[in-house]
Structure 1
């Protein structure tokens, strides 16, 4: 393993990620719940994707958007958690210069993509409840395709300058990053250049993307709530609120975790530095683990689709075992 370099003339070819510098001894204990959450997130999202793919009844715009959300969650988990676990278990702290900034780009672009996907899903629910007769003409497969292109293009384009600006800096203050992941703030601190514009751009871009999404989401749900409360038919209000409940719970949790992370970063002097590091890791792990579970539990169609998928595996397994017995005879 390469040792940290303080030579200002030597170009940095890799960084060393030092997780929880004040609590090195209990990293192995932390790796157990993180590993279990990682397996849960990957397994739950994989089951959800397979269910939507195989169940013809789920080939609808809302579930296509949910598939996009699961894909984003999987990429975020694979980008962050395996490297964190490798550091905990095997001490593999080194990360190459390109890999570090690739990780930075994915984190800075995919989180806003997830927020933007929530916004499109909120619009889908708004049209379904407030304009039900026009739903099939507005929310079409073409609309979903355009929405996916918009989600990817907008957030990737706006987030790309963050790692680019960080990669162009001169790193002369060593190569030891006091974090488990390559965040812009943690890495750029090692530069001997002025990083004011770098930090300012990330702050403005991040809050512009996430802030606009959250505002549009809450506007959509305000209209939904207004329309639902006017409906006097028995059971309609409960059904409408139940349909949107899972979606709103996940958005609220996503926003709350993000807000707590921002507050802890702003109050670094009053909070131990290991707390923001842990929250940053959990923000890339807990929402991906919760998203498919909440939708699977609260959405009747998905629950039915998972049950059908399990029945198929049981039937296929029984047929294979039967043929195996016949062949042996």
Structure 2
């Protein structure tokens, strides 16, 4: 195993073997940063660039260093740039980005299990030592006074990663791609709007309180799906992951229960019920609307149960719906 532990003094004049012994840590940091700047759907890369001036191009340039001489030149002329790479890379290695880096390392090194864990922990320890050594190098004789802005930047980076880490999680694979006619698309939108809006009312109806506790219908799951459905047309097809399909399945059930119960009337929200354009008889109109809603709900939920009823998530969602009916 490597025996070189970098210090501020040693970075001022690297020993000849320094790059080969630091390369595991530098490679890990470089992979993590490369993974970060390849995550285009997340706002985090842009925020990191604004703070550190690191971007995909500078990361590629730093990753191209392959010798002690080139590393020494970087330390002599741009130590803060390497320090930023280390900070960002270490933050990324403690975020969801660690998973693809870990996977790549496993394939590249052809190691599994405990040997991989030992290698991973060793590299992480080496990155921590490198961070400390760079702080000593950059601070120089000023000591604590010069360290303060470095530590502040570290805190700012960590706050950025804490805020945006959910956006780094890769989307779940689609298990189905669906197309909708206009009526079904509007019904799905209404179902999501209902499960998002009803728990926000001030009423103490037990049904509403129960809906608010359903794990599949929390805002973090409902809001992204509402946004996706809001941007498609009836002619487009929509790929859905199992978790997204479960949200729609349960939301449609909730919507159906709302329209066949007294929940809307008890809240004074009868106007939210879709009404046919024609029909002079209010009772007939109300009845036909309930039938239309019931038919759309039954068509969708029965299809999901038929095609995916063996999935544990769907089974759990169905059991939770049974529990909801007891509150009506």
Which bracket does the TM-score occupy, shorter chain normalised?
under 0.3
In our comparison, the structure showing a higher alpha carbon Rg is: 2
- Scaled by the length of structure 1, what TM-score is found? 0.26
Which structure's relative contact order is higher, taking Cα pairs within 8 Å and 6+ residues apart?
1
- Scaled by the length of structure 2, what TM-score is found? 0.26
